[in-house]
């Protein structure tokens, strides 16, 4: 069964504690935290103080997605802030394998994120070493973008690669996930769905999360 990881970036930061408590009570599995530096992507989100604050309240694992340059400089700090899974971008890591090992050496699950234009074939040499592939289904940097349909084919290709490696790597889809495309994403092979605006812009976010869980139950 796929996991649901609501993106906290879409929460109401005037009432962040309320929204975190809502996610605690919901059927969500992970908290997805997008960290942006204004260099790798054209936006800035939040850093260590906010993650520390969320971690004090959150009762579920923190899935931290780094959209930053030189992520290897900050891996220990993200562990100390509360990250359970730490994903770095393939495009931002000239020494990817070394960075993956740093993440694992610090006791976190290691993920690699890829932009929409990055072929999944480039991950072949690290698939057996990582726990998660965070596949961007929009161009990273801003929420609320339109889903890129090519994602379905990339999921299928990556699923085949994982099977050939006999790996247990999860496929996470980040960007434009909603109740309409969720069944198709799961059918293609997605294991984790990141949902931001779909959850937090709904009239009843907790009910929307429950509906996403129902979708995957039907799809399976």
Rounded alpha-carbon distances, angstroms, from residue 81 to 29, 57, 92, 159, 212? 19, 12, 21, 32, 29
Q: Per the residue annotation, which of 19, 34, 63, 131 is the catalytic one?
A: 34
Closest CA to 90 of 100, 75, 101, 105: 100
C-alpha span between 92 and 67 (Å, rounded): 8
DSSP string, 22-52: HHHHSS---EEEEEEBSSSSS-B---HHHHH
List the catalytic residue out of 29, 37, 63, 174: 174
Distance of CA 90 to the CA centre of its chain: 14
In the annotation, is 34 catalytic? Answer: yes
Look up 191 and say whether it is catalytic: no
- Convert 105-124 to b/e letters by CB count within 10 Å (16 or more is b): ebebbbbbbbbeebebeebe
Segment holding 99, helix H or strand E: helix 96-105
Could you list the active site residues? 34, 174
């Amino acid at each position: 069964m796929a996991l649901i990881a609501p993106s906290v970036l879409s929460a109401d930061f005037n009432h962040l504690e309320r929204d975190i408590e809502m996610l605690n009570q919901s059927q969500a599995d992970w908290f997805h935290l997008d960290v942006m530096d204004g260099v790798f992507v054209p936006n800035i989100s939040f850093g260590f103080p906010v993650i520390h604050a969320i971690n004090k309240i959150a009762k579920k694992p923190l899935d931290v997605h780094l959209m930053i340059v030189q992520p290897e400089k900050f891996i220990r700090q993200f562990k100390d802030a509360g990250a359970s899974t730490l994903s770095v971008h393939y495009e931002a890591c000239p020494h990817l394998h070394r960075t993956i090992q740093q993440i694992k050496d610090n006791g976190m699950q290691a993920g690699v994120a890829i932009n929409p234009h990055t072929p999944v074939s480039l991950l072949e040499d690290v698939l057996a070493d990582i726990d998660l592939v965070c596949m961007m289904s929009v161009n990273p940097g801003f929420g609320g973008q339109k889903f890129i349909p090519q994602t379905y084919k990339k999921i299928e290709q990556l699923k085949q690669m994982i099977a050939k490696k006999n790996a247990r790597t999860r496929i996470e889809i980040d960007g434009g996930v909603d109740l309409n495309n969720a069944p198709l994403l799961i059918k293609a092979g997605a294991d984790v769905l990141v949902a931001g605006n779909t959850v937090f812009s709904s009239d009843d976010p907790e009910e929307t999360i429950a509906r996403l869980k129902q979708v995957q139950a039907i799809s399976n």
